[in-house]
Structure 1
Amino acid sequence: MEILIITGPPYSGKGTQCEILKDELKFEHISTGDRCRLEKQNETEIGKIMSQYEEKGDLVPDSIMKNLFSKILDENINANGIILDGYPRTEPQVNDLLELVKSGNWKSN
């Protein structure tokens, strides 16, 4: 699976470019913000944990984001590729993503 990572500040056109690339490359577009909102709205286990951190004004820990992306990789195992919009944002998140992809061991818990 190929993975494209699109980065940039808010309102820089990342989502617009991702939609163009998605159609052109036949990849799945994964918006971290949209996915986090969906997880919280659906009250999934990950969504509930995210909400607890956000209600305190804290950032969601990298370990929770790693679990979420393990789940996303599982869901898209047969995709040509994915375009990540909003993840990774930190060096530890880059390392977590590389570890998941290199190991091929991303089956969610």
Structure 2
Amino acid sequence: MTNRLVLVGPPGAGKGTQAARLSEELGIPHISTGDLFRAHIAQETELGRQVKEYLDSGQLVPDEVTNAMVRERLASPETAEGFLLDGFPRNVGQAEELAKMLSEADQELDAVVELKVDEEELVQRLLARGRNDDTEDVIRRRQQVYRDETAPLLEYYADRLVTIDGQGDIAEVTARVLDALKQRS
């Protein structure tokens, strides 16, 4: 059985933590767009230079650049048995591009795992990190942006969406995800 997965959830839901655990449990690579950006910048690739230019000027990296990085990464042999995408797709356009990438390789996405956490819990988690830019207003604005951007994405993936309660012990959340994925297969 393959595991071609997308992990979504609001800031503070524990995506990074769960992605690392699930990647290890399932024996598939964790592909984070943030990691891809940093790797390309460090290696000074053409895509990395483009990303750096956008980030240095305070702009969002355009979908076509992000899509190109993901396409390149998904073409690597280690993703043949599956992967866990974290931070991609962020919008329906990227989801459609991902579907096209997978279709070209005669593959499809197995599931989209949504980590759902109560907003007040998210705010408390992020405030507890103690970062300077993590004020309550900024955190609540990020949550709203997430909801606005992700709602259409969740609708797009309705047929393969697996919603998991992301509150509680880290190991319990991982177990919930794994159980839900087993039930789908």
TM-score by length of 1: 0.86
Residue 50 of structure 2 corresponds to which residue in structure 1?
Answer: 49
Runs of at least 5 residues in structure 1 that lack an aligned partner in the other structure: none
Segment drifting more, 86-95 vs 4-13: 4-13
For each residue in 1:32-88, what CA deviation from the matched residue of structure 2 results, as whole angstroms up to 9, or x when unmatched? 111211111221111001111122221111111111011101124553210001111
Q: How high is the sequence identity, in percent, across the aligned residues? A: 37
Secondary structure in 2 matching 1:83: strand
SS of the residue corresponding to residue 4 of structure 1 reads strand
- Structure number with the higher helix fraction is 2
Q: How does 1:90-101 map to 2 (within 5 A)?
A: 90-101=91-102
The match for 1:81 is 82
Residue 59 of structure 2 aligns with which residue?
A: 58
Q: Which whole-Å CA distance do the structure 2 matches of 1:55 and 1:79 have between them?
A: 34
User: Distance in 2 between the 1:71 and 1:49 partners?
Assistant: 15
**1:70 partnered with 2:75:** no
RMSD: 1.7
- Larger RCO of the pair (alpha carbons < 8 Å, separation 6+): 1
Q: Secondary structure, in 3 states, of the residue corresponding to 1:9? A: coil
Q: Which runs of no fewer than 5 residues in structure 2 stay unpaired?
A: 107-185
Q: For residues 30 and 76 of structure 1, do their structure 2 counterparts lie closer, same or farther at Cα, with a shift above 3 Å needed?
A: farther
| Structure label with greater radius of gyration | 2
Number of residues paired by the alignment?
Answer: 105
**TM-score, length basis structure 2:** 0.53
Matched, 1:12 2:13: yes
